[in-house]
Amino acid sequence: MPQAKTIINKTKTTQPLLSPGHRACAGCGQLLAARMVAESLGPNTVIANATGCLEVTTSPYPETSWGIPWIHSLFENAPAVASGILAALKQRGEDKKIKVVAQGGDGSTFDIGFGLLSGMWERGENILYVCYDNEAYSNTGMQASGATPWGSNTTTTPAGTGGTIDAIGSHQRKKDMIAIALAHGLKYVAETTTGYLMDIKAKVKKALETEGPAYIQILSPCVPGWRIKPDQAVLIGKLAAQTGLYPQLEYVNGELASKTKVADPAPKVDEYLKAQGRFAHLFKGPRGAEQLRYIQDIADENIRKYSLR
């Protein structure tokens, strides 16, 4: 009897670095951004991920969406965990082959993990930190963070007075983390949005080429928190950049190396804000109109400050 031929399946399967099937809301800007980051990082990477929506939705025990070595740290200590991983890789002589990345939301980056992030930057370690900025503590119900923009409604910003003019919604200006990162003498600092997915990838690639600490902050719309439709993360990310409210910037060795220009005239902030339920109160009455003018001033200030036209 002739021998049956052994059929060898030569088809290679490539495991996605961040797989679908995670538990994030449909249309989550953060997951979209994280996929771009993961694809740009490639498999020779170790990620320390702070607590938050990205961590919770991608790693419900015993499942994981990550095709990259990935560890969940505490909410506040992803940078310290990343430093430990880098020290271990150095010990094994593998720190030049494998990139260490720490990542988290704006709550862990701007506020609760800031001390440990500042310490990591002070040490000048060759670690990339990525902040997915959805401008609130989304995972616990959209509480305000240091990244919440002026005038935005959250679950912890009651109507009140304060700041330059009376505000409904947050009356604190967004903390300037880009300036704070630059003040630490970082080698590479960049800001971008989900409106420009290829820009996210390009900035991650540039950060990888940088020897030394790097920071990338990505505006990542949150569907229930911003009260937007699930298909709007890209459009809203584009408008944030095009109005000047969230400029796309890149600093190399402390110098502004590239920026994406806005149109002349730039779209008004109303176009960006009216798509989002968190700003609905701005479109009611004379007080709302006054707030809109104040937010327009913030965008115009950015356009002047970074010469975006």
Ligand X SMILES: Cc1ncc(C[n+]2csc(CCOP(=O)(O)OP(=O)(O)O)c2C)c(N)n1
Q: Which is nearer to ligand SF4, 27 or 267 (CB)?
A: 27
Tokens coding 284: 């009611």
* Residue span 19-38 as binding mask against ligand X, x where in contact by CB under 6 A, dash where not: -----------x--------
Task: Pick from 40, 49, 57, 154 the residue near ligand SF4 by CB under 6 A.
Answer: 57
Q: Does the protein bind ligand SF4 through residue 234 (CB under 6 A)?
A: no
223 binds, among ligand X, Mg ion, ligand SF4, none (CB under 5 to 8 A by kind): ligand SF4
Q: Which is nearer to ligand SF4, 30 or 148 (CB)?
A: 30
280 binds, among Mg ion, ligand X, ligand SF4, none (CB under 5 to 8 A by kind): none
DSSP line for the chain: -PPPPPPP--PPPPPPSB-S---SPTT-HHHHHHHHHHHHH-SSEEEEE-SSHHHHHH--TT---BSS-EEE--SS-HHHHHHHHHHHHHHTT-TTTSEEEEEEEHIIIIIITHHHHHHHHHTT-SEEEEEEE-SSBTTTT-B--TTPPTT---TT--SB--SSS-BSS--SPPP-HHHHHHHTT-SEEEEEETT-HHHHHHHHHHHHHSSS-EEEEEE---HHHHT--TT-HHHHHHHHHHTTSS--EEEETTEEEEEPPPPSSPPPHHHHHTT-GGGGGGGSHHHHHHHHHHHHHHHHHHHHHTT--
Q: Which is nearer to ligand SF4, 77 or 138 (CB)?
A: 138
Which of these ranges, 128-136, 211-219, 230-238, 269-277, lies near Mg ion under the rule CB under 5 A? 128-136
Position of minimal CB gap to ligand X: 105
Query: Smallest distance from the beta carbon of 140 to ligand SF4, in angstroms?
Result: 10
* Residue span 156-175 as binding mask against ligand X, x where in contact by CB under 6 A, dash where not: --------------------
Binders of ligand X among 70-109, rule CB under 6 A? Answer: 75-76, 104-108
Residues that bind ligand X (CB under 6 A): 30, 51-54, 75-76, 104-108, 112, 132, 134, 137-140, 145
Residues that bind ligand SF4 (CB under 6 A): 24-25, 28, 30, 53, 57, 134, 138-139, 222-225
